[in-house]
Every structure is written in structure tokens, then in C-alpha cells.
Amino acid sequence: MTTKLSALQRWVDEVAARTQPETIHWCTGSDDEYQQLVDLMVEDGTLSPLNQETYPNCYLHLSDPTDVARVEHLTYVCTEEPDDAGPNNNWMSPADGHARVDALFDGAMQGRTMYVIPYCMGPITSPYSRCGVEITDSPYVVVNMKLMTRMGSAALERIERDGKFVRGLHSTGDLDPERRFIMHFPDELYIKSIGSGYGGNALLGKKCHALRIASWQARSEGWMAEHMLIMGIENPEGETHYIACAFPSACGKTNLAMLIPPHSMPGWKIHTLGDDIAWLHFDDDGCLRAINPESGYFGVVPGTNEETNKNAYDMITRDTIFTNVARTEDNEPWWEGKADGKPAYDWRGQPYDPSQGKAAHPNSRFTVAATNNPSYSELADAPEGVPISAIVFGGRRKRLAPLVYEARDWKHGVLVGASAGSETTAAAIGEVGVIRRDPMAMKPFCGYNFGDYWRHWLSLEERSDKLPKIFHVNWFRQDDDGNFLWPGFGENLRVLKWIIDRCEDRVGARETPIGYLPEPDDIDTAELDISAETMRVLSSVDLDRWRIENAHFATYLDSFGERVPQELRDEHERVASELDKAS
Ligand code: GTP
Ligand code: SPV
Ligand code: MN
């Protein structure tokens, strides 16, 4: 196959000339193609079939042990001006960036097949969707892209119609971390990634395109590309509200997006639109609408069980690719937090030995099509997306943030998002559990200077008088022994109910310097084993800690210098003086 779009054909020819593959395969996205690639990988050991009786169509991939997460220190945004990438990104000039990786791509696909994957981020017919083409030498990437995006012939037809697409060039390379780079060239809508076969480093439609490049495009085109789940919450009266929640990596998006309502909330239903990325656009009435550019999940496996996330637990019993989990003697996948079975082999494929660490890698993942999710929304393919009532920020804060609070207004909400911080997780290489600033959960994903990004957020206020309300949640408060204070998971719906009641003006709130908090009795705790004292702690504001936090944030803002919008500084000053007054 080839294409009638000469710009695409020329690029494929040019890449082939540089990388010298043995053959070129244009992906159609058919089920047969998927199965053929799976069979090929089973043959060469890239995948192993799991127990086909209990886990039909499920396969295990064990990645190179040095290649198990995103590599933020090797991820670059290449702009002419360093300030356009900002202190939140690693920077290289476009000329240096290309030179650096092109040398590594020379002959990189010798003896291998080069796959050309046309894909569409978002429903094929949506005006909000954007397309891309990933060229890769990894069949593992192809099958993951098939599960997670609308890829193949239909996408190619749209690309040929649009004439415009994001280019993503990927090679697994030799997996040497010294020769691993994830480079973005936003002005050229070009991504070049080499030396990793893992998740966000290699599935270029996801973080590289749908967040870093898309956030850059979104700013100039007047929309937003965000690290947010999208879910619909239907109450017993049949009324559905949609919310979009930005939590950092491994902080609960997938779990929240498909939660099962607690027993004490009969008649409530959840509709999952997306679990990781939202593209937000204004419609003609000034209503902010969201589409999920993806159509599958690359989710954290550890912790998934029938109690925490039954929808996910069920959907990954078939048609799933597991990466870096352990295996039982019966060849079933196993991970920490799975209630039944025990590990016989760890994520490196070695006989399990508890002294060698966890059986499944903490960042082990499942890849599965969203259609496997019992709560997948009927509107997931709606070209116009869904209207958003609330935007919710969150993160892992052991001590500081209350269970939930509401921003006073849009401007304050932008400050709440910008000042969010969270403990680091295993989703990226590096130390785990240290607090870092993670504005809007976009620290690793914003493709341009955060100062400009906050300005873009603030500017939305001029465009609509129907903006969503903004909230902040924290499921991760701990006591002195490290136990979570809040039960989390399905029980989080109790908090979402308060959020929706606030959007509909159905419940009051208590004003504090950090925003509006629920009265302790306003979060329903029926059938929960939680004391009034714990609820009091979860809904109180520790003014001393908040003043320290606020001072830290001031220093952080300063690191962005003149790019920080004055409006944001003023808002920060306002909160600082409220905190001083209240102390
Ligand atoms: P990425 O895919 O990396 O963007 O992560 P995510 O934000 O989708 O996080 P996910 O839902 O996969 O959750 C990550 C980890 O947090 C899992 O081990 C979950 O079991 C755990 N988790 C999720 N929600 C909760 C919660 O409400 N409370 C507690 N205590 N843990 C949770
Ligand atoms: C994340 O780290 O936020 C993920 C996984 O969703 S990855 O696709 O590897 O970025
Ligand atoms: Mn994510």
C-alpha cells in the first residue's frame, strides 16, 4: 500500500532511506493484522500467551528492565527560543535536536519491518479530532496503538482529506539509555523518539502527540489539551453531569473514570468517556465540551482488584496485553493487590523471590480497548463531545490538601490548578514519593512554557460566561502510621456528588482562605466505617501548612520570570493575605 498524499509518501520514503528497513508495512488496523502481529511476536518471544482458558486473547510482554517508565530527563521540547519551551521542559534547539537523533536513526531499522501507522486522535468524524502518522519498527507499538487509538485505513482516509498530520518517528533502537531521546518539534508538528519501547515514550499518539504537541496547537487555536479523565455521573433521577479531572500519573484517573457506585448510592451510574487525556473546545454557545482522543487504556495494573476497580478487573480478563506483570504457576497474570493466586515468576521472568522486590513492576500496565469496559459511555464516539460541568484537580498529598474544596471563581481555579503538587510515582523513572509541583498534572506533558500556559487558561474567562466550576480533591491523606484516611475508589462518588450539588447550587459551603469546603455533614458517609473526627480532619484547613505551601509556590512562580501572568501573581497575593488574616 501507499498513499495519494504526496507529503506523507515523501516522508515515508525519506525515513526509509535513513533507517533502511527490510520491508515497509502500511497498517490497515484490521483484526487480522492485529492477530498476525501477535502471532509474530509470540514466535519471537516478544509476547507470551497467558492462560487462554481463563485469560482468552491475553498476552504478556516483559520489557527490558531498564525500560519500564517514561523518561522525563530524556524528553525534550525543541523550539528556536528556550523560553518558549520554558523551565518546565528540557530544551534543545531544533537543529541540535534533529542532529542528535537523526544520527541514531541512521540504519536503525536494518533487517526489520518498518510499520506506518495512520491514526486519528478522537472520533473519526469529529471536527475536534486531530490525526497523526507514527512510523515505528516495533510490532508491540503497532498492537498497542490498535487497542488505544482509531488507527488504520479510516484514519488514513481522513489524513488524505485533511492533508495535515503530526509526524511521529519511533525506533526501539538498542535500548541503551545513553542513546534514548524523546524529542518534540512543535513548530513542525514532529516527534522523534528512539531507544525506548515503553508506553508514553513509544506510543507517540498518547503523551507526545495528544498532550505535548496538542497543547502547543491548542494554545494557538484556542482550545485545551489536558491530562484529564472524562466521566459522566448519572443520578437516580436520570440526570447526567460530565466532569474532567486532572490528576498526575498514577494518582487515580483510571480508577475514578470507571468507578462502581457504593451500595449506599443505589440508582447512580457512571459513564466512562476517557481515563487519561481530554481535549476541550468551546461550542457555539460558549459551553466547554470534551472529547477523549484515545479509544483504549494503558492503565496501572497493581492495586486493581474486584474491590477497588471491578470494571477494570473484569475488562482485563480478555483481549489484553499485560506489560511487566508477574505470572502464576497456572500462567495467569499476577500483581500486588490481586486477591487470588500467587506469583511464580516476577516481572523480569525470574522465579519469584520476595527478597528481589515486588513481583509485578509498580508501573506494570494493561493495554485494552475501551469497548471492553462495561461502563464505556455511549457518547464516547459523539463527534461533538460532552459538556463539562466541573474541572477537578487532584494529587497525592499525605498531609496538606483536604478531601475536597472548590475554587471561588475561574481565576482562583487557575491558581488552584497551577499550584497543585503531588508525590512522585513509578510512572516516570526517578525517586518515588517526593512532593513536586505538578501544575494541572501537566508537568511532564505541557509542550510549552507554563507561564504562557497559565495565561492561556486565564484567557478562557473572556470567551465564555458558562465556564465549568473548578475543584480540588485529595484521596490520599494519611494518618501518622501511613494509613489512608479516606476509603477512596468507589466511595469517591460521595465527593463527586457534593461537587455536582455545588455546580447545581443544591448545597452550601464554608468559605476559607483556600476556597469553599463542605460542612462535615455535607459529604454523605452512610454505611462507611469512618469517624466524625476523621471527617473533621479531612475537611479542615491547616493554615500554618498552607502558608508554607503558599510561600513555596511563590518561589516556583518566580522561576518562570516575566512569563507569569500578573493576574496569577495577584490572585496568589490575594490568597496569601487571606491566609495571613486568618492565622
Ligand atoms: P496514569 O495512567 O499513570 O496517568 O495513572 P492514573 O491517574 O490513571 O492512576 P490509576 O487510576 O491507575 O491509579 C494509580 C494507583 O493509585 C493504583 O495503584 C490505584 O489502585 C491507586 N488508587 C487509585 N484511586 C485510589 C483511591 O481513591 N485511593 C487510594 N488509596 N488509591 C487509589
Ligand atoms: C502516565 O504516565 O501518565 C501514563 C502512562 O498515562 S504513559 O503512557 O507511559 O505516559
Ligand atoms: Mn497519564
pLDDT in tens, 224-282: 999 999 999 999 999 999 999 999 999 999 999 999 999 999 999 999 999 999 999 99
pTM score of the predicted model? 0.98
Q: Is the CB of 128 under 6 A from ligand 2?
A: no
CATH of domain 296-371: 2.170.8.10
On the question of pLDDT at 343 being above 70, the answer is yes
The per-residue pLDDT for 520 is 78
φ and ψ at 243, to 5 degrees? Answer: -130, 155
Place of cell 509518501: 9
pLDDT in tens, 370-428: 999 999 999 999 999 999 999 999 999 999 999 999 999 999 999 999 999 999 999 99
The per-residue pLDDT for 280 is 98
Q: For residue 184, give the amino acid letter.
A: H
The per-residue pLDDT for 299 is 98
Indicate if 251 belongs to the active site.
Answer: yes
Exactly one of 58, 78, 120, 251 is catalytic; name it: 251
Ligand 1, atom 15: nearest CA belongs to which residue?
250
pLDDT in tens, 138-147: 999 999 999 9
Residue 74 C-alpha to ligand 1 middle, in angstroms?
25
The per-residue pLDDT for 110 is 98
pLDDT in tens, 30-63: 999 999 999 999 999 999 999 999 999 999 999 9
Q: Judge: domain 6-45+71-222, CATH 3.40.50.720.
A: no
On the question of pLDDT at 2 being above 90, the answer is no
pLDDT in tens, 456-504: 999 999 999 999 999 999 999 999 999 999 999 999 999 999 999 999 9
CATH of domain 229-295+381-582: 3.90.228.20
Strand partners, 224: 280
Residue 148 C-alpha to ligand 2 middle, in angstroms?
13
Question: Which residues are within 8 A (CB) of 300 and not within 5 positions of it... i.e. 6 or more apart?
Answer: 250, 254, 363, 364, 365, 427
3-state secondary structure of 368: strand
DSSP calls for 440-460: GG-TTT-SS-HHHHHHHHHHG
On the question of pLDDT at 1 being above 80, the answer is no
Could you tell me where the DSSP H helices lie in 396-483? 410-418, 450-459
Q: Is the CB of 70 under 6 A from ligand 2?
A: yes
Residue 370 C-alpha to ligand 3 middle, in angstroms?
15
The per-residue pLDDT for 583 is 87
Mean pLDDT of the chain: 97
Domains of the chain, residue spans: 6-45+71-222, 229-295+381-582, 296-371
